[in-house]
């Protein structure tokens, strides 16, 4: 069968599922995307893209490849959908210590950090938009995706070229590659933190990392940049800001908690003293792996069952290029990066029930 006619059923229309669907459709495949309409990660996310890891002032994994690709990916979709959901936003890291400023000053001299770091100037020491005792550094190549408009537009893009089914996937209805009487060539599972419920890939080591955010109203915070220290602050217009997020390891529920609200507001106090009004509080669950790499590949026995998951806390940066590589793997037989391939965990995939 020619690759252009291959028929895929994708389960899950979060960021993973829609990215894979877009890439497969672009390569001429026949795509059906199924989702149960309950999303607690991609829709809750701030959608921020930051090339640096502040903790150690290092570059994020494969960032030199991810950033140019994602700019083309999101801007291309904006053009095709005649909309605007991908925005540049300067991120300013408010240093916590002199040592942290020292790390920045050292790294800013390096050629490989030049694309991502502005050299500090006097204005970075005197910046008064937040508490700035040790000065602050301005990151380059920083963006955010407005998540709800993004999903509205890309789902329309997909349904114009493929099929979207609003329904819950039930493994009892799958027999080989036949689902509810329709024959597919391949099934791709993109279920995010719900992967442990998956019959074939559920034993892969995927952690459910809860995250909570607040939306606040502030009269003091600047609206032209995102401040970062102990938490991120993303301006949303009209003096409203999304702030967060927490990392909860032992609570895979999707309800909001007072503890997280207190933690976020306490973190905010490292940036401003203002008593802010909280206008929204949301919770979601990131699908994370211990080695911080995505989980992609094909089942060892069921060779037409595949998984695309494990985007962790940086899905909006990783998804565009990783999904393109995944589509090349599926349709053109290109090898998968062994850092993301589930074969690194092969011994943990147990035999599922026979289909
Ligand atoms: C609070 C918070 C803040 C975040 N902020 C950022 C950020 O600023 N930048 C960033 O890059 N990333 C951020 N992330 C991470 C990002 O959200 C994830 O990396 C990404 O959204 C994961 O996407 P996914 O499609 O794999 O999972 P999901 O978004 O969870 O999507 C999975 C989909 O599969 C569906 N599904 C599951 N099982 C079934 C079934 N049986 N039948 C039908 N449908 C099913 C679900 O309903 C869901 O819609 C944040 C996450 C959280 C929680």
Residue 108 has pLDDT above 90, yes or no: yes
pLDDT given at position 349: 55
- What pLDDT band is residue 353 in, cutting at 50, 70 and 90? very low
| C-alpha of residue 90 to centroid of ligand 1, in Å | 25
pLDDT given at position 251: 87
Report yes or no: 212 and 282 within 8 Å, Cβ to Cβ: yes
State pLDDT tens for residues 54-73.
Answer: 988 999 999 999 999 999 99
Whether 32 and 153 map to the same domain: the answer is yes
Residue 185 has pLDDT above 80, yes or no: yes
State pLDDT tens for residues 308-324.
Answer: 999 999 999 999 999 99
Whether 141 and 56 map to the same domain: the answer is yes
Going by alpha carbons, the residue nearest to atom 31 of ligand 1 is 14
Q: Which of 288, 313, 338 is the last residue of a domain?
A: 288
Report the pLDDT averaged over residues 21-40.
97
Q: Which helix (H) or strand (E) holds 155?
A: helix 147-161
| C-alpha of residue 194 to centroid of ligand 1, in Å | 9
For residue 211, which atom of ligand 1 is closest to its CA?
Answer: 1
Residue 339 has pLDDT above 70, yes or no: yes
Whether 25 and 167 map to the same domain: the answer is yes
Residue 140 neighbours by CB under 8 Å, 6+ apart? 51, 115, 116, 117, 118
pLDDT given at position 3: 44
Residue 152 has pLDDT above 50, yes or no: yes
Residue with tokens 């607690």: 40
CATH number at residue 234: 3.30.9.10
Q: Count up the domains in the chain and report the number.
A: 3
Report the pLDDT averaged over residues 115-123.
98
| C-alpha of residue 193 to centroid of ligand 1, in Å | 7
Strand, coil or helix: what is 148?
A: helix
Buried b (16+ CB within 10 A) or exposed e, 137-156: bbbbbbbbbbbeebbebbbe
**Parent domain of 137:** 52-145
Whether 246 and 341 map to the same domain: the answer is no
Mean pLDDT over all residues of the chain?
A: 95
CATH number at residue 25: 3.50.50.60
| C-alpha of residue 163 to centroid of ligand 1, in Å | 20
Whether 233 and 199 map to the same domain: the answer is no
Residue 166 neighbours by CB under 8 Å, 6+ apart? 34, 35, 36, 37
Report the pLDDT averaged over residues 226-230.
97
Cis-peptide, bond into residue 211, ω within 30° of zero: no
Task: Find the residues whose C-beta lies inside 6 A of ligand 1.
Answer: 11-17, 34-36, 38-39, 41-42, 44-48, 168-169, 190-194, 211, 213, 244-245, 284-287, 309, 311-317
| C-alpha of residue 313 to centroid of ligand 1, in Å | 10
Closest CA to 15 of 349, 331, 321: 321
Mutate to test the pocket of ligand 1, among 45, 154, 172, 319 (most ligand atoms within 8 A of CB): 45
Whether 313 and 173 map to the same domain: the answer is yes
Query: What are the backbone dihedrals phi and psi of residue 55, each rounded to the nearest 5 degrees, phi first?
Result: -50, -45
Tell me how many helices (H) and strands (E) the chain has. Answer: 7, 21
Whether 180 and 218 map to the same domain: the answer is no
Cα gap 169→206, rounded to integer Å = 20
Report yes or no: 193 and 252 within 8 Å, Cβ to Cβ: yes
In a domain, 329, yes or no: yes
pLDDT given at position 257: 97
Transcribe 60-120 into DSSP letters.
PTTHHHHHHHHHHHHHHHHHHHT---EEE--EEEE-SSHHHHHHHHHHTTSGGGTTTBPPP
- 352 or 88, higher pLDDT: 88
Whether 27 and 155 map to the same domain: the answer is yes
| C-alpha of residue 247 to centroid of ligand 1, in Å | 15
- What pLDDT band is residue 250 in, cutting at 50, 70 and 90? confident
Report the pLDDT averaged over residues 232-250.
96
Angle between helix axes 63-81 and 147-161 (nearest 10 degrees) is 70
pLDDT given at position 346: 74
Cα gap 289→275, rounded to integer Å = 36
Mutate to test the pocket of ligand 1, among 9, 11, 15, 283 (most ligand atoms within 8 A of CB): 15
């Amino acid at each position: 069968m020619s690759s252009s006619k291959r028929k895929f059923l994708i389960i899950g229309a979060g960021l993973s599922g829609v990215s894979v669907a877009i890439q497969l459709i672009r390569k001429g495949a026949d795509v059906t995307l199924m989702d149960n309409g309950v999303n607690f990660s991609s829709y809750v996310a701030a959608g921020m893209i930051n090339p640096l890891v502040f903790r150690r002032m290092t570059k994020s994994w494969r960032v030199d490849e991810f950033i140019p690709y994602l700019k083309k990916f999101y801007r291309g979709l904006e053009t095709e959908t005649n909309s605007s959901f991908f925005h540049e936003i300067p991120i300013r890291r408010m240093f916590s210590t002199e040592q942290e400023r020292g790390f920045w000053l050292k790294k800013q001299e390096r050629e490989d950090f030049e694309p991502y770091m502005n050299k500090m100037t006097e204005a970075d020491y005197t910046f008064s938009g937040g508490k700035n005792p040790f000065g602050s550094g301005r990151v380059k190549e920083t963006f955010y995706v407005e998540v709800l408009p993004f999903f509205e537009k890309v789902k329309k893009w997909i349904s114009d070229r493929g099929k979207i089914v609003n329904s819950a996937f039930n493994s009892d209805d799958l027999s080989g590659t036949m689902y509810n009487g329709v024959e597919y060539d391949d099934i791709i599972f993109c279920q995010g933190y719900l992967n442990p419920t998956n019959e074939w890939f559920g034993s892969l080591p995927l952690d459910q990392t809860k995250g909570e955010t607040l939306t606040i109203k502030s009269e003091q915070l600047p609206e032209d940049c995102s401040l970062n220290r102990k938490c991120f602050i993303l301006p949303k217009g009209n003096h409203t800001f999304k702030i967060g997020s927490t990392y909860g390891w032992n609570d895979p529920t999707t309800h909001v908690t007072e503890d997280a609200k207190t933690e976020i507001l306490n973190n905010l106090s490292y940036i401003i003293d203002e008593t802010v009004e909280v206008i929204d509080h949301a919770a979601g669950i990131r699908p994370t792996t211990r080695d911080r790499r995505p989980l992609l590949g094909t089942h060892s026995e069921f060779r037409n069952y595949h998984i695309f998951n494990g985007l962790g806390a940086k899905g909006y940066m990783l998804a565009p290029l990783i999904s393109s590589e995944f589509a090349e793997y599926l349709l053109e037989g290109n090898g998968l990066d062994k850092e993301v391939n589930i074969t690194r965990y092969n011994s943990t995939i147990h035999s599922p029930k026979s289909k």
